[in-house]
Structure 1
Amino acid sequence: MATLLPTVPYWVFCVSEPVSLVAGFAIAIFQPEQFVALQLPNTESTGLSPSGKLIAWQTGNLFGIMAMMGIAILFATTEAAVVKRYLIALLLGDIGHLTAVWWVMGSDGFFSAHRWNGFTWGNVGITFFLALVRIGTLVGLFGEIKPQPSTVGKVKRK
């Protein structure tokens, strides 16, 4: 089944975001030391405690779940309200994520993109981009989230 999203949000939420989540999953699971060390610019890997490794693996697991949920929801639903609520939930998550990174980095680091590493671009830049596209999608900037007729309870006649 096709998604209800217009073209730009389709490519962002149905293609790019799941791919980036799977990449985050892989790094967190297979390279947890690097995953943790690179969360902030200019941080060196010093090895992880068992708790640190567990947190990296749990984060990776969440990335995998988010990728699967996004694909399942965006390709299975025929209701625009479900897509909108999903985007609102993720937007709230984006706001919480950005707030947490800002809190830890401080304003100086958070607003100094020229000092960011690749992971910081993911934590701040890409998350901010996704939030903007979510807002744009919700307000109709890219076109309407088109509801499709439901097939639930309908009998096919021959």
Structure 2
Amino acid sequence: MAETEAKTRRPMPVTASIHLPTIYRLFFLFIEPVSALVGAYFAHFRQHDYLTMTHAASAPAAAGVEVPVVSSVVLTQLANLYLLFTLNEALVLRTTADRRVWRTLLFGLLVADLGHLYSLRPLGSEIYWRADQWNAMGWGNVPFVYLGASMRIAFLSGIGLGGPKTVTKGKSL
């Protein structure tokens, strides 16, 4: 029996492990997932506030005015994407020490950062640099996204990571 079991076992593959600096660990595994969860909450449960903080001039006139059905559907879809963002960082990145997985996921999120910043263009170019005009949503939409993109670029560039080490699959960060 033990002989048959030994023959059918697959060898554990060797993966590239990462020693993760505290700043990456804090940002990617805690700060950013919580922030995305807050975004999901507002996009789904506080839709009027979400729209007003994004662009008051085009939001429904006042609190209590019903958010148009199409806007509600789109905001709930956005909330779902924020939730996916949360789960990818908070759960997927915690399950592996494989640098390739981290790089792949963070590259995808970097593309999403650029798309997020691009989506703000109808608000005018000053949205990207006029901190004196940012409300809570502006702070989340611009400098926090810049910070996330910068953290991903730093990680993808290998800043603070040192060289890859080999470990057996399943070993945590």
CA spacing shift, 1:120–1:147, aligned 2, 3 Å? farther
Do the aligned residues in 1 keep the contact of 2:51 with 2:59 (CA within 8 Å)? no
- Aligned mate of 2:75, from 46, 53, 56: 56
Question: Match for residue 33 of structure 1?
Answer: 48
Secondary structure of the residue aligned to 1:149 is strand
2:100 is equivalent to residue 81 of structure 1: yes
Which of 117, 140, 148 matches 1:122? Answer: 140
Equivalenced residue count is 149
What is the RMSD of the two structures over their aligned residues, measured on CA atoms? 2.1
Are the structure 2 counterparts of residues 105 and 147 from structure 1 closer, same or farther at C-alpha, using a change threshold of 3 Å? farther
When residues 56 and 145 of structure 1 are mapped into structure 2, their CA distance, relative to the original with a 3 A threshold, is: farther
Q: Which residue of 2 aligns with 1:108?
A: 126
Instruction: Tell me the TM-score normalised to structure 1 length.
Output: 0.83
Q: 1:79 touches 1:148 (CA, 8 Å); kept in 2?
A: no
Task: Give the aligned partner of residue 91 of structure 2.
Answer: 72
The residue number in structure 2 matching 1:136 is 154
Q: Which residue does 2:31 correspond to in 1?
A: 16
Q: Larger relative CO (CA 8 A, sep 6+): 1 or 2?
A: 2
Name the stretch that deviates more: 21-30 or 43-52: 43-52
Identity across matched positions, percent: 26
Q: In structure 2, do the counterparts of structure 1 residues 51 and 59 end up closer, same or farther at CA, with 3 Å as the change threshold? A: same
Q: What is the alpha-carbon distance in structure 2 between the residues aligned to residue 64 and residue 148 of structure 1?
A: 32
Per-residue CA shift, 1:29-84, capped at 9, x if unaligned? 21111112211366654241100111111111111111112122211123111101
SS of 1:90's partner is: helix
Q: Which residue in the other structure is 1:156 paired with?
A: none
**Superposition pairs for residues 91-102 of structure 1, below 5 Å?**
91-101=110-120
1:25, distance to aligned residue in structure 2 (A): 1.2
TM-score scaled to structure 2, two decimals? 0.77
1:129–1:111 distance in 2 versus 1, CA, 3 Å: same
Structure of higher CA gyration radius: 2
In structure 2, give the amino acid aligned to 1:28: A
From the superposition, tell whether residues 147 and 38 of structure 1 become closer, same or farther in structure 2 (CA, over 3 Å): farther
Question: Secondary structure, in 3 states, of the residue corresponding to 1:99?
Answer: helix
Residues 146 and 28 (structure 1), Cα distance of their counterparts in 2 relative to 1, 3 Å cut: farther
More strand by share: 2
Uncovered stretches (5+) of structure 1, i.e. residues with no partner: 153-158
